[in-house]
């Protein structure tokens, strides 16, 4: 959000979150073209979250703290990871320079 403007969003199906013991799920955000703050779709961001939806039955609210997934708070950050990439082959890439000797590469961002 940028104040009250949604810069990017994610849409999901509520039925995918009926498990009372969910695991952390990563999703790609979608840039909101009506706001126009994000120029490239891959820069809309990703988020990790845990969500459980339970149908309310009766007058008493459901106590999620009885479920294993909700007893402990989530970790503050995901674990550090190592990444190794080897580009085996590329085809039909557009030329990025005049001599056609551009080397393809992998870019990883967080």
The position carrying tokens 């995901």 is 78
* Whether pLDDT at 91 is above 80: no
Q: Is there a domain that residue 58 lies in?
A: yes
For 43, the token pair is 């820069």
Domain count, the chain: 1
Q: Tell me the C-alpha distance between 60 and 37, whole Å.
A: 43
Strand, helix or coil for residue 95:
coil
Tens-digit pLDDT profile for residues 67-79: 888 888 877 776 6
Q: Is there a domain that residue 84 lies in?
A: no
pTM (global) more than 0.85: no
Q: Which residues of 14-44 are buried (b: 16+ CB within 10 A; e: fewer)?
A: eeebeeeebeeeeeebebbeeeeebeeeeeb
Domain that holds residue 26: 8-71
């Amino acid at each position: 959000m940028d104040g009250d403007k949604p810069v990017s969003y994610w849409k999901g199906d509520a039925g995918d979150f009926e498990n009372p013991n969910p695991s952390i799920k990563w999703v790609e955000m979608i840039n909101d073209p009506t706001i126009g703050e994000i120029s490239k779709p891959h820069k809309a961001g990703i988020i990790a979250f845990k969500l459980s939806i339970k149908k309310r039955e009766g007058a008493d609210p459901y106590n999620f703290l009885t479920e294993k997934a909700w007893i402990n708070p989530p970790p503050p950050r995901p674990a550090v990871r190592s990444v190794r990439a080897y580009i085996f082959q590329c085809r039909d890439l557009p030329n990025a320079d005049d001599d056609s000797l551009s080397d393809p590469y992998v870019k990883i961002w967080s």
